[in-house]
């Protein structure tokens, strides 16, 4: 059950749509929502001129922070449920750590698509830090994608422990009795991974949790795995795609294509990332 959500943004204007959709999700889940407004203190025109007086720069940084905070507060003011706003300002290098900490005390971290962010580096760093270091799942809500209650989800399954965490996190997110499609792309039976019938063990486990489960074994046939998963989700009307994140080595991702990276960069539906 979801009761405590945190959305990460870096502004109150471009992120307006994301904020509205995050609030709608929180309201539908009957969960508290806090907006963590992350601000890179050096991402500020005031810092650039090298000859300005130091106190003037600090004032400008403060002003910018206040302006952004007010913008976010204005964005949440008219929402149906109360939304907490938490400004966090620091050097970019430390903001990743801030995302990790936020994720530690939340059920789920929400991060929007590229157009919701002014600072793309901040978006990527927050995502990466949150996924790898917070201990909880991250929900990527791409531009225009809405999510309220999840009746139908796709679990990308490669029998890794990361995918296992995705299955566990999915249980908290989907409706009781929801339909879960387990999708294995070109599975290979190995000693530490898939068994002789890929997906069957996790299917049985999820069925024990009361979900309607089906296993689908698909072939990539030259396409990217992220494309295969998204296409399946679209064709079957899934509300959400869940995967274990960064389960493979960096080298493998470079050679074969990284599913997580693809979906972080450009997903066509909400994606739940777990690790």
Q: Which residues in this chain contact other proteins in the complex, by CB under 8 A?
A: 1, 3-4, 31-32, 90, 94, 97-98, 100-101, 103-106, 133-136, 159, 161-162, 164-165, 168, 171-172, 191-192, 201-202, 204-205, 208-209
Q: Which is nearer to other proteins, 149 or 161 (CB)?
A: 161
Q: 31: closest CA among 84, 69, 71?
A: 84
Task: In angstroms, give the least distance from the CB of 107 to other proteins.
Answer: 8
Task: In angstroms, give the least distance from the CB of 128 to other proteins.
Answer: 14
Q: What is the DSSP string of 114-174?
A: GGG-S-HHHHHHHHHHHHHHSSS-EEEE-TT---SS-SEEEEE--S-HHHHHHHHHHHHHS
Q: How far apart are CA 4 and CA 209, in angstroms?
A: 22
Q: Which residues fall within 8 angstroms of residue 87, CB to CB, at 6 or more apart?
A: 37, 39, 65, 68, 69, 72
**Partners of residue 273 on adjacent β-strands:** 138, 243
Report how far apart, in Å, the C-alpha atoms of 203 and of each of 181, 206, 270 are. Answer: 9, 5, 22
Task: In angstroms, give the least distance from the CB of 56 to other proteins.
Answer: 27
Q: Which is nearer to other proteins, 14 or 31 (CB)?
A: 31
Q: Which is nearer to other proteins, 21 or 100 (CB)?
A: 100
Task: In angstroms, give the least distance from the CB of 143 to other proteins.
Answer: 29
Q: Report CA 26 to chain centroid distance, whole Å.
A: 14
Task: In angstroms, give the least distance from the CB of 83 to other proteins.
Answer: 14
């Amino acid at each position: 059950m979801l009761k405590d959500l945190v959305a990460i943004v870096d502004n109150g204007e471009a992120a307006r749509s994301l904020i509205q959709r995050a609030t709608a999700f929180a309201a539908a889940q009957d969960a508290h929502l806090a907006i963590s407004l992350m601000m890179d203190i050096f991402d500020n025109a005031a810092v650039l001129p090298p000859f300005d007086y130091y106190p003037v720069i600090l004032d400008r940084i403060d002003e910018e922070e206040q302006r952004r905070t007010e913008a976010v507060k204005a964005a949440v003011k008219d929402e149906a449920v109360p939304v907490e706003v938490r400004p966090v300002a620091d050097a970019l290098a430390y903001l990743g750590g801030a995302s990790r900490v936020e994720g530690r005390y939340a059920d789920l971290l929400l991060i929007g698509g590229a157009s919701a962010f002014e600072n793309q580096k901040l978006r990527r760093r927050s995502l990466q830090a949150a996924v790898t270091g917070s201990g909880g799942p991250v929900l990527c809500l791409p531009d225009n994608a809405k999510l309220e209650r999840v009746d139908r989800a796709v679990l990308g399954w490669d029998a890794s422990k990361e995918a296992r965490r995705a299955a566990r996190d999915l249980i908290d997110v989907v409706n009781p009795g929801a339909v879960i499609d387990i999708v294995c792309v070109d599975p290979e039976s190995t000693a530490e991974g898939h068994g002789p019938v890929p997906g069957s063990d996790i299917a049985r486990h999820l069925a024990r949790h009361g979900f309607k489960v089906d296993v689908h074994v698909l072939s990539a046939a030259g396409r990217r795995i992220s494309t295969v998963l998204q296409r399946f989700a679209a064709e079957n009307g899934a509300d959400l795609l869940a995967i274990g994140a960064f389960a493979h080595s960096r080298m493998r991702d470079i050679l074969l294509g990284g599913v997580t990276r693809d979906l972080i960069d450009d997903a066509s539906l909400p994606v739940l990332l777990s690790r």
